[in-house]
Amino acid sequence: MRIRPVLAASFSVAILAATSLTAAAPASASTLDVTCAGSANATYSPALTATSQTVTTSRSFDYEPCVSTSVPALTSGGVSFSYTAPGFSCLDLLGSGTVHKTITWNTGQTSAITGQRVSSVAGATTTTVITGQVTAGLFAGDSVVDTEVGPATSILTCDLGLGTVPGLTTTLLLEITS
């Protein structure tokens, strides 16, 4: 049995109307409090290999330029730290884990961030996405998405046991929303 075009069109309009009524329900709006571009650098001493070893890692994150709707004077921020980890290799650069870092803004204020890190490689690009929350300081309670993107060549060759990773440089995009 064939549905006549007018009947089919009426049915489609009814479905669209029902869908749009459901979609029109109020949703909680989020506000972008700050967005930043920037770059990140990591150095490993000694250089990472496919074999686990004790490694000192130095990291720096430069968030600039930043645009904030709620704090117009905020234009940049940064993080830097070092730590030594036993049993670290280039194989540990990919995967997931918990991240804690505190951004110091050009205004003198800070934002402590805790989130989950997921790192992966697609083609020749490595991407790390941290999703979490600002746990203290400026923007406390806000959601965070911090994305790093960079070349994966040295990671891939190291994972195959064919090279080392002395350091990494990536680009950043940080978004903090309430």
Region 142-168 average pLDDT:
96
Residues 78-131 pLDDT 10s: 999 999 999 999 999 998 999 999 999 999 999 999 999 999 999 999 999 999
How far is Cα of residue 1 from the mean position of the Cα atoms in its chain?
54
Residues 19-59 pLDDT 10s: 333 334 344 568 999 999 999 999 999 999 999 999 999 99
Among the residue ranges 11-15, 37-41, 125-129, 169-173, the one predicted with the least confidence is: 11-15
Model-wide pTM > 0.85 = no
Cβ atoms of 66 and 34 within 8 Å: the answer is yes
* SS3 track for the chain: CCCCHHHHHHHHHHHHHHHHHHHCCCCCCCCEEEEEEEEEEEEEEEEECCCCEEEEEEEEEEEEEEEECCCCCCCCEEEEEEEEEEEECHHHHCEEEEEEEEEEECCCCEEEEEEEEEEEEECCEEEEEEEEEEEEECCCCCEEEEEEEEECHHHHHHHCCCCCEEEEEEEEEEEEEC
Residue 131's identity, in one-letter code, is T
pLDDT interval class at 9 (50, 70, 90): very low
Res 28: pLDDT = 56
